[in-house]
Structure 1
Amino acid sequence: MPDRLKVLSLSTYTMGHITHQNILEQTFREQIPEVELVALHLPNHFKQDLAGRILYRLMTPRVPLLERSDADFYRLRNQLALSLYARRCLDRALAVYSPDVLHIHTQSIALLAESIMSRIPTVVSLDYTTALLATEHPAPAGVTYRPIVGLERRCFQVAAHVVACSDRARQSVLRDYGLAPDRVSTIHWSLPLERFNWPLRTAPIGPKPRLLFVGNDFVRKGGEDVLAVWLAHLAERSELDIVSNSPIPLPDRPDLRHHQGIGPLSPELLQLYQQADIFVMPTYEEVYGMVFIEATAAGLPCVGTTVMAVPELVQSGRNGFTIAPGDRQTLTQVLRQLIDQPELRHTMGLAGRAIAQEKFNAIHNFRRLADLFAQIRQERQIHG
């Protein structure tokens, strides 16, 4: 293909970022052939670089008694170590490949790539900013995170463009880092919606509606609240499926099921979404929440919390409800309302499907990213 745009994409490739990156790569490969996207997954190169692993270990020891509050500056040291390793990874890749545009996800591994970004126009994508985390995490985060904010500011200023996955993160880049609005875009994380294209049901598949919780970090994602509320108030009128690799002591009953070892977007997970009637994850901390997008695409009313960017995904009163984290009384009320009102579940499910088409369509969103890559290459060709 003549004049094919060449993009080198380096991803942190951990936790929810794995799902995002896999969908991005598949979409470019199958739907956007005019872009040659060469992907680097940082953990894969980490396994092959003994010197890099040694450097990482030397830079990231934990300090007993200080680690829980980050008073040992672990977050700063960890991000510098990852950025140093990412720099080594990029140097090796650029020795044999010459991209038109560099894409780094996220800024946490781009803190030491300033000289490369000055030479090759770079798009930095992110799910959140440390400036936001510094205001939301307990002290002394406001102090220990401050050096990271300074490093991120330099990174964003050198980048050709910054892409945030939420409006909340974009506003932080504008407000806290001083970038001009035309240099920062919001492109939501996305899904291949055709994999969720089953008909919506107006009635449960069994005698009672099924609640679905998905979250490996069971405590942080509010799993204990869901389980306690369900056992105390909702077990007689609903069933509960828990997808989590955490060890969870559960009573032995047929309407309470614990699923382990289920991968992102696997056939098993998609089947659970299709069988469910309500999705619930009253998380205490969630910078984004890919599972809310999945549940929305599946046509499930969602119950989330008011933390971080979750209200952008769960629009309270439209495709679900958001509550304060830890508010078990309100959690009980909204779940009971959804359990008892099938017409409300159906209405919110339809609204969720519409939101997914508007905001979370992988083909549409990654086409926008491809257009951004092309624009950046063109600007570099014109201005040098």
Structure 2
Amino acid sequence: MAQSRALRVLIATDTYPPDVNGAGYFTHRLAEGLADRGHRVHVVCPSDEGDPYVRRNGRVMEHRLRSAPIPLQTDMRAAVPLGMGGHIARLVQRLDPDVLHSQSHFTLSRTAMRRGRTAGIPVVLTNHFMPDNLYAHARIPEAMRTAVGDLAWRDMVRVAGEADHVTTPTPRAAALLREKGFAGEVEPISCGIDLERFHPRPAERSALREGFGLPDRETVVFVGRLDEEKRIDDTIRALALVSRERDVQLALAGLGRCEARLRALAAAEGVADRVFFLGFVPDDELPLVYAAADVFAIASVAELQSIATLEAMSTGLPVVVADAMALPHLVEEGRNGFLFPPGEPRLLADRLLTVLGSERSRAAMGEASRELAARHDHHRSLERFEEVYRGLLPAAPRPAYLERLAA
């Protein structure tokens, strides 16, 4: 009976929508997915408004803590440390969760982990962290990045050691954590992809391009932050080479601090009229961006999984990705796309030309992408997290009166 009852899950995260990043999106989907499966889900995260508040968002209860803007970043806020520990301790005591699932080792998440452990609550930690994703935001000089990265990894490993179970999105991300000194077990659990939301719709491609203000021609797409670590400049340089042989354009969906520089680069490369900045695309329209394209390209070297690449694959797009970090796990060379050496726009251009060269081959690659994406069905990921949670529960069920109080 204890194995079939609904679980009470408290998710702690330092980033959550409306923040725009992979970790925030994953956490949101995890919370909603668990709630849809009948579990009682609460999320504690920074307030997007500054002042604290509590609200029910669908089936998920959000506990937003007082926050302040993060220096040098205009699109994210951090929870204010003053009073945070007491607030989270009271929340843990009142909710009495079966498990606390932390999404990072940053201030709010680590505070929740420690308050959970003090209360005897099992703690799961999922690591989405790579220092490379923070260097540009924090204005870390190039010469200091190695030293700062080493310190950041040591801090992360120390916090991870306090969890009862540690997960990462991919085997490569798990290996990286072990390489950085984590001695415990690390389980790869995919972030997952909603195969129903992101699905092929080739008959709509021309109409969707028109809807996004794109000319009806071959389209390379990238979805994500327009920031330094994504190396979108390589993709623009590759487009300039590809456009010498094919009538092709690049659609960039997302915002970021590099947008002005990327616009200038497109002009310098002579492809300003072929690079389209779509800006922020609402979540309900995001599947349409992929469906408007012919191929997805990403030059980033700091991906622990790349949800965007999975979304593109689920939509039935061939993918051309940098041979770096976890991206190679998503490509079967020549079957659903190609890898290219990071920082080599000429080779990226060659791979794009190969994909675009034959419509028949491109369609076959798209079908293979969809097939490979099915391995990452988010229902599988949710089921595995449920199994992890239940495996951490005490052998004896809680008394009935506690169950009634928790309800």
Same fold (TM over 0.5): yes
2: distance between equivalents of 1:262 and 1:299? 20
Structure 1 residue 199: Cα displacement: 4.6
SS of residue paired to 2:40: strand
Distance 1:133 1:256 in 2: 26
Corresponding residue for residue 310 of structure 1: 327
Answer yes or no: is 1:243 the counterpart of 2:253.
yes
Instruction: String of CA shifts for 1:30-75, please: whole Å, max 9, x gaps.
Output: 2x21x212122234486439x965xx78xx878xxxxxxxxxxxxx
**2:163 partner letter:** A
Q: Equivalences for 1:15-26 in 2 at 5 Å?
A: 15-26=21-32
Match of 2:403 in 1: none
1:301 aligned partner: 318
Once the two structures are TM-superposed, the CA of residue 282 in structure 1 deviates from its matched residue by: 1.4
Q: Is residue 279 of structure 2 the alignment partner of residue 260 of structure 1? A: yes
1:77-113 deviation per Cα after TM superposition (whole angstroms, max 9, x unaligned): x99x888886455224224221111111012344454
| 1:123 to 2:100 alignment | no
Distance 1:234 1:27 in 2: 42
Superposition deviation, residue 11 in structure 1: 1.5
Partners of 1:85 and 1:308 in 2: how far apart? 38
> How has the CA–CA distance of structure 1 residues 376 and 221 changed in structure 2, closer, same or farther, with 3 Å as cutoff?
same
Alignment of 1:201-350 (within 5 A): 208-234=217-243, 236-245=246-255, 246-247=259-260, 248-249=263-264, 256-263=275-282, 265-267=283-285, 269-350=286-367
Instruction: Note the residue ranges of structure 1 that are not aligned, 5 or more in a row.
Output: 63-77
Q: 1:302 to 1:88 in 2, by over 3 A?
A: farther
- 2:368 is the counterpart of 1:370: no
Q: How does 1:33-72 map to 2 (within 5 A)?
A: 33=38, 35-44=39-48, 47-48=51-52
State the distance in 2 between where 1:232 and 1:191 align. Answer: 32
Distance 1:243 1:61, change over 3 A: closer
CA distance in 2, matches of 1:300, 1:170: 27
Partner amino acid, structure 2, of 1:222: R
Contact 1:114/1:155 (8 A) holds in 2: no
Contact conserved, 1:124 with 1:163, CA < 8 A, in 2?
yes
Q: Give how far 1:186 is off.
A: 0.8
What does 1:355-366 align with in structure 2 at a 5 Å threshold?
A: 355-358=372-375, 360-366=376-382
Q: Which string of whole-angstrom CA distances, capped at 9 and with x for unpartnered residues, describes residues 2-43 of structure 1?
A: 84321111122242222112211221122x21x212122234
The 3-state SS of whatever aligns with 1:241 is strand
> Is this contact kept in 2: 1:243–1:258, CA < 8 A?
yes
Give the alignment's Cα RMSD to 1 decimal.
3.7
- Do the aligned partners of residues 111 and 39 (structure 1) sit closer, same or farther apart at CA in structure 2, a change above 3 Å counting? closer
Q: Per-residue deviation at 1:152?
A: 2.8
Instruction: Name the CA distance, whole Å, in 2 between partners of 1:353 and 1:151.
Output: 38
Distance 1:278 1:306 in 2: 17
> 1:341, CA displacement in angstroms?
1.8
After superposition, give the CA deviation of every residue in 1:103-134 in whole Å (9 maximum; x if it has no partner): 11012344454353252110001124669999
Q: TM-score normalized by structure 1?
A: 0.78
Pick the aligned partner of 1:157 from 161, 171, 177.
161
Q: Secondary structure at the match of 1:373?
A: helix
Does the aligned pair in 2 maintain the 1:83–1:111 contact within 8 Å?
no
Q: Larger helix proportion, structure 1 or 2?
A: 1
Q: Which residue in 2 is equivalent to 1:71?
A: none
- The answer for the alignment partner of 1:196 in structure 2 is 198
> Which has the larger displacement, 210-219 or 142-151?
142-151
Distance in 1 between residues matched to 2:196 and 2:378, nearest whole Å: 10
The alpha-carbon deviation at position 178 of structure 1 amounts to 4.2
- Percent identity, aligned pairs only, is 20
Q: Which moved more, 1:152-161 or 1:108-117?
A: 108-117
Letter in 1 for 2:284: S
SS of the residue corresponding to residue 196 of structure 1 reads coil
TM-score, structure 2 as length reference = 0.74
Q: Which amino acid aligns with 2:40?
A: E
For the 8 Å contact 1:193–1:361, the answer to whether it is kept is: yes
State the alpha-carbon separation in 1 of the partners of residues 177 and 325 from structure 2: 15
CA distance in 2: counterparts of 1:321 and 1:266, whole angstroms: 29
Contact 2:238 2:345 in 1 (8 A): yes
Unaligned 5+ residue runs, structure 2?
Answer: 54-64, 136-140, 208-214, 399-407
Residues 98 and 393 of structure 2 are in contact (CA less than 8 Å); yes or no, is this contact kept in structure 1? yes
